[in-house]
Structure formats: C-alpha cells, structure tokens
Chain A
Amino acid sequence: MSRFEDFVDAEGLDPGERARLERVHELLLEVGPPPELTSSLTRLPDVGGRVVPLPTRRRIGAAIALAAALAAAAFGGGYVLGNGHGGFSSWRVEAMTGRNALGSVAVGAPDTAGNWPIRFKETGLPKLTGKDAYYEVFVVHDGKPRFPCGGFRVTGGARVSANFTVPYEVTGSTRWVVTAIDANDHWPGRVVMT
C-alpha cells in the first residue's frame, strides 16, 4: 500500500495542493522512519560544564610554554614507562590539574583491535611515602575513577611521562583522574589530579 489515496483523504484538494502533499507522501516513503532513541539518548548527553573558549594570544603562549616544559620533561629529567618512545600523534589532549601539579593525557588513534595508546605527563606530584604506594590513572565513569589505565611512581619534583595502552573506547567526553594509592588508601585511592 503506497498510493497517495490510500493514506490521505484527497477529496476537495485543488491540483496544486494535491501535488504538494503527494511530494511529501513520496518523501516519507523514501526516507523511512527516524530511529528509535535508546534510553541513553533521551536526554542531552554530558557535553562538559563550560564552553571551551577560543585560545587568545596569551593562552596560546601559555600553552606553548607548558607544552615545551612537558616536552623537556619527557626528554630531560623525567622517565618513560612502557613502550612507544617515538613520535606520538595525538587524537585528543586533555589537560589535568592537581594541587601544585599539572598534567595532560594525550590519546592516539587506536589499533585495529581497539587498543588506545595514551601518553600521560605530569609535573608536581609529590613522592608517596608508603613502601608500595603509587599513582594510578583512571577513566572516570559515573563520576568515579572506574577503569584503570596504568600506574606510575614519582621521585618527587621529577617530571613523569608514562605511556599506557587501554582497551576502553575513548570518546570526546572521556575524562581521566589520577589517584594516589598506598597502604591507607583503598582502591581506587584518593583523587589527586582531575
């Protein structure tokens, strides 16, 4: 059943109006129905709390300075964990801050199996005193550190660059935190950088 007359009571329509409605009728048949929204799409997803301002000259300068400092950290006083010491082409970079600490998470393109390379850099985190204490980078889910990306230690004052590979899909809204884990902190530890 696709005839116009099967759908619409065309009685009394003048030819011009009928032609107009017939075109809409054909369009509806042509494009098909819109998809059913899944429950996760019935509300506006999290788009972040603020509009990211376009960089001003001053911010660009600060960003260049920070990037230079972090690059120097990678090749200078810092050390690298894991693999991937070569060039790192990032798909997304997220800045992180903590008390007296600055950091960033850079995400590269995933391989065909869905492994996402992540390069984490930080400077300023204090050395943890516990014997087995360390820091862990997590993906945030439902507002909590949920999926671990990898752990690292610092020597205090030193800059750190750590490479991880994670199997979790990274989207434009993925967020990370760094937690400190020692004998007094239950998993996933205290959040020290967001």
Chain B
Amino acid sequence: MVSEGGLVGRRPVGVPAGDVSDGDLIQRAGAGDRAALETLYSRYARSVYGLALRRLGDRGRAEDAVQETFVSIWRAAKTYRPERGPGAPWLYAVARNAIVDRSRARNEPAVEVPEEASDEAGPPEAAEQSWLQWRVHRALEELPENEREVIALAYWSGLSQSEVADRLGIPLGTVKTRTRAGLQRLATLLEGEL
C-alpha cells in the first residue's frame, strides 16, 4: 500500500531538474555547486533510501546511509569522468559502497547478501534486481505529478481504476489516460532496460 504521504505526497526539495543530465550535475557538484547536489538529491533520494532500506533493513540506519551516500557524492564528485559512462551507474556505485560500508562499520551483516553490482560476488539476480529498482524509482521521479500519483495508486495501493478515480475525484477516463501516458513516459526513460 502507498500512503498519502508516500510517493504521492512528500517529495524532496531541490532545484528544478530541467534537462540537465545526471553527469552534468555530478560535474557541477564536483566543482562545489551545492545546488547541483540538491538537484541530484531530489532525483535520487528515494532510490538511495530504497536501496539502503532493502539492504540494511532498518529505517534509522537507512537514513544515515542516505546521508553518507550524499556526503560521498559531494566529496567524490570531482573524480567522476563522463567519458567512462553516464551518471546513474556512478551514483549507484557510490550509494552501494556507502551502504555496504555502513553495514561493515556496524559489524553487522546486511539484510541481503551483499552484491557487488554486475561482475562480482553475490547473486547476479539480486544485483540486477537492485539496479532495476534503482532505475525504475529514479524514472518515476521524472514523471509529472499527476501521472506519478495515478500510477502509484493504481499499482501499489490495491485500488481499482474506478476507486482511484473516486479517490482523486477525476473521471475514470482521465485515470486511464494518465496511466497510459505515464507508462509511455516511463518506457522512454527506461529505454535501456526494456
């Protein structure tokens, strides 16, 4: 179930994303641009938090891991090299490392078996699932609010399309139109994953 304060409601505050790529934002952050880091935060806070929750299994520790991830991004951003790849995998790697470090620092095992992305120890399926979740949650952040709202309620609240329409006070046809438009937008954003 998705609460009203969840995907539909509370969102991180950041600079309007515009068309600036993740890689550009990382480079700007590397030059000391805090606004760029805030925009990255607005794009990735949920993805990082979701990854941390899944691996650490505790909200408090996951919150700390989010903070440590963005401290790491802030400090390591100047080492990012766009010619080696886009920003999303780099951010994923930084987040994963910060979360694993946190797990190790506590001398406690992670809830999941630690995976090292695509090419190291750990079940490849788990690594793929984490990456997929990361990408999908990140893509959701790009949707217009009205499409994201409808998709969240339709897919994760257990409501039928008619119930979603009642809940939002919009016609059923609008729910279907927005769902379809949202899926089309996601399909474009997730081009490489489909």
Contact = CB atoms under 8 A, between A and B. Distances in A.
Interface of A: 1, 6-9, 17, 20-21, 23-25, 27-48, 50-52, 54, 91, 109-112, 114, 169, 171-173
Of B12, B38, B45, most buried by chain A (CB within 10 Å of CB) is B45
In order of increasing CB-CB distance, the 5 nearest A-B pairs are A36-B6, A9-B176, A45-B67, A34-B46, A34-B137
Contacts of B7: 33-34, 36
Interface in B149-194: 151-152, 154-156, 160-161, 173, 176-177, 179-180, 183-184, 186-187, 190, 193-194
A109 B6 contact: no
A6 B155 CA distance: 10
A47 B70 contact: yes
A46 B66 CA distance: 11
B75 A51 contact: yes
A88 to B, nearest CB: 15
Interface in B54-102: 59, 63-64, 66-68, 70-72, 74-75, 77-78, 98
Contact of B71 (A33, A47, A109): A47
Given A9-B177, A28-B155, A112-B107, A42 B74 contact: no
Contacts, number: 148
Given A20-B187, A34-B50, A42 B66 contact: no
Main secondary structure of the interface of B (DSSP, over half): helix
Main secondary structure of the interface of A (DSSP, over half): loop
Of B38, B63, B67, B161, most buried by chain A (CB within 10 Å of CB) is B67
Contact of A37 (B49, B107, B133): B49
B12 A171 contact: no
A41 B66 contact: yes
Given A20-B194, A41-B63, A47-B37, A28 B151 contact: yes
Contacts of A47: 37, 67, 70-71, 74
A28 B71 contact: no
Given A7-B161, A9-B180, A37 B11 contact: yes
Contacts of B132: 27, 30-31
Interface in B116-133: 129, 132-133
A22 to B, nearest CB: 9
